Structure 1
């Protein structure tokens, strides 16, 4: 908005596994909102589970009273966060389509098209383009 980035919702930062579990649950509640759209990427989430309440580091006060929490039968278990993939093939394909729709389809040089797309994603030096293309999940030309 007017050249500025606006953060709509920030869940928070975690320093322990327990805090991460709480933030993951809070983030999931935000995503479960019926007004929140969902993009189907065809990725099945992993079903691994981890305890919500982790041990405190030595010298650190625990986040919760562990004796009180251990006595509860309804103790929460949440899946840990995991990175499925870091490639951005969807972004690359969308920009390739825009590149073609703008009338550059007759330019059949794939290296040129990849260079243009990479520099749109991250304005950087020509020497750094292979790194950007790799981040996009593409094989850079050698």
Structure 2
């Protein structure tokens, strides 16, 4: 167990600050740091004790939180975590989302924004997307809502709106130089369907696969992506 700071009353009414070290078999070794007769002395002794515990390790300055009696960062008296939010990451994604024109294009659809954020932070399933956003401090739409909205995002009309927003942001116009490339993605199944079909594979795989095509501008900025049957040439 990690060492921790404790305070005990002395016979004279002072507050003694001590460091408790646990040894094997549960025995204790107590280091007396000093006795405080005022609040100022008490705060200084607790800070000194924490420095002794930290040793050469750097500790974070948590401002007012570090001086609260609720915790000092030890195992038995931890600093409470009241909330977590990946603010810088979320603000960066939000700025890019808005500048590209996605917010205006989707009409302020918060579910679409949540799905995009989750896919950037950690690509995963619908349930994993909800968990990913929760980990960074975002309360997203529920599973049923996301499941209901995803088919809408796959329609040609919605894809066209997103593509137009990307093309406008990239300044695409007559005479623009564009790049297009395709790749294959195979699936670990022996059963083909309407999309996943056996065909020519750059990896020489025999499993059903699909073709994925990506259109970009000359700098590589994505404009649209498409998926095609695996037996397309």
Q: Under a length normalisation based on structure 1, what TM-score does the superposition of the two structures give?
A: 0.49
Q: Under a length normalisation based on structure 2, what TM-score does the superposition of the two structures give?
A: 0.33
Q: Which has the higher contact order (CA 8 A, sep 6+)?
A: 1
